[in-house]
């Protein structure tokens, strides 16, 4: 089982580090990561394995939000993307 974490907002030092630490804290294994900064606007998408994660998806979202305040954070189960964009 996988989930997708997206973090969007104004760029600043340490976002990647903070989010990675948060994921490690909750035992969520990172499978894939893509990140870009365009005109000072930071966008990161992380695909994680949630099988051995120690919290629920919404708890993880709240936790990441608390470590990168002011950024938009979403954590969603992969099924929603698979069902909407795959036949």
The nearest distance, CB 25 to another protein, in angstroms, is 19
Site string for another protein, 35-64 (x = CB under 8 A): ----------x-x--------xxx--x---
Contact 75, 60 (CB under 8 A): yes
For residue 28 the two structure tokens come to 């969520």
Of 15 and 73, the one with the shorter C-beta distance to another protein is: 73
From the centroid of its chain, how far is CA 74?
A: 6
From the centroid of its chain, how far is CA 87?
A: 25
Interface with another protein by CB under 8 A: which residues?
4, 6, 32, 34, 45, 47, 56-58, 61, 72, 74-85
């Amino acid at each position: 089982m996988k989930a997708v974490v997206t973090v969007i907002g104004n760029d600043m030092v340490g976002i990647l580090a903070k989010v990675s630490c948060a994921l490690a804290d909750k035992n969520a294994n990172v499978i894939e990561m893509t990140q870009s900064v365009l005109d000072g606007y930071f966008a990161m998408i992380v695909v994680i394995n949630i099988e051995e994660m120690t919290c629920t998806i919404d708890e993880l979202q709240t936790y990441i939000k608390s470590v990168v305040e002011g950024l938009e954070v979403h954590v969603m189960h992969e099924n929603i993307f698979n069902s909407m964009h795959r036949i």
